[in-house]
Amino acid sequence: MRVGVITFPGSLDDVDAQRAVRYADGEAVPLWHGDHDLKGVDAVVVPGGFSYGDYLRCGAIARFAPVMQEVIEAANKGMPVLGICNGFQILAEAHLLPGALTRNHKLHFVCRDQWLAVENNTTAWTTRYDRNAEILVPLKSGEGGYQADEDTLKELEDNGRVVFRYVGDNPNGSRNNIAGITNARGNVVGLMPHPEHAIDALTGPTDDGLGMFLSLLDTVVKA
């Protein structure tokens, strides 16, 4: 399994995403924002961080990077793509996922260990979890509030496209406590919390996040 991990100027959790891929026995392939091809990878992770400083809006500049045009094309053809935190924001800006991420309702950056309910275990990235399993992973973001109009929310809810939901008090003002969603096809998943920081209880709260990368392994092997 070869998994591309994109590095934009200002990406931060790219090393962590690469490590998570390795922990799942995959090969992590670094992709550069200026690349015009995906080096034949089986899947792509768009990692967390502050691409281009996130100065205008999170992900607003990164979405236009050359490598993203390749990702958009591949995703539309069914390649598994995971956007974590800033990666989720980029995928939303790139219209691979609906909605937008806005400033946390309490206006502070929030770093905390967060319980999530896995509500959809049929996406390319979540097959290893039981449906409605609860997992504990870090959440760390300043603009993690998920917003979408009523129609979009209904569409997401009605079709099981809410993949992760916050358990307990809402950390950032997300509509419907949404922590992560998928596209209609189930190959593109974006979430604000950081599964790649929960792959080893030594450096994370748990190893609950590893399941996402192992799920991908199954998806890729099956494909």
Active site residue 58: no
Return the C-alpha torsion angle 124, 3, 92, 149, nearest 10: 10
Count residues near other proteins (CB under 8 A). 48
In sequence order, what are the residues at sequence separation of 6 or more whose Cβ sits closer than 8 angstroms to the Cβ of residue 83? Answer: 45, 46, 89, 90, 91, 92, 96, 97, 188, 189, 190, 191
**Quick check: is 33 catalytic?**
no
70 as an active site residue: the answer is no
Q: Are 74 and 37 in contact (CB under 8 A)?
A: no
Binding to other proteins (CB under 8 A) within 49-108 occurs at 49-50, 52-57, 60-61, 64, 93, 98-100, 102-108
Which is catalytic among the residues 85, 119, 143, 197?
A: 85
Give the chain's largest Cα–Cα span: 43
Residue 136 found at the interface with other proteins (CB under 8 A)? no
Q: How near is the Cβ of 71 to other proteins at its closest, in Å?
A: 17
- Assess 148 for contact with other proteins (CB under 8 A): yes
Residue 209 makes CB contacts below 8 A (sequence gap 6+) with: 20, 135, 137, 194, 195, 196, 197, 198, 199
Calpha distance 182→194 (Å, rounded): 16
- Looking at residue 130, the DSSP 8-state letter turns out to be P
Q: Choose one: 71-79, 145-153, 158-166, 179-187; the region binding other proteins (CB under 8 A).
A: 145-153
Q: Which stretch binds other proteins (CB under 8 A): 75-83, 162-170, 180-188, 196-204?
A: 196-204
CB-based contacts of 64, cutoff 8 Å, min separation 6? none
User: Phi, psi at residue 219, to the nearest 5°?
Assistant: -60, -45
Give the nearer residue to other proteins in terms of CB position, either 56 or 221: 56
* Complex with other proteins: residue 53 or 78, whichever CB lies closer: 53
User: By three-state DSSP, how is residue 215 classified?
Assistant: helix
12 is an interface residue for other proteins by CB under 8 A: yes
Kindly state whether residue 221 participates in binding other proteins, applying the rule CB under 8 A. Answer: no
In the bound state with other proteins, the residue whose beta carbon lies nearer, of 49 and 190, is 49
Residues with catalytic roles = 85, 194, 196
Residues that bind other proteins (CB under 8 A): 9-10, 12-13, 15-16, 19, 48-50, 52-57, 60-61, 64, 93, 98-100, 102-112, 138, 140, 142, 145, 147-149, 173, 194, 196-197, 202-204
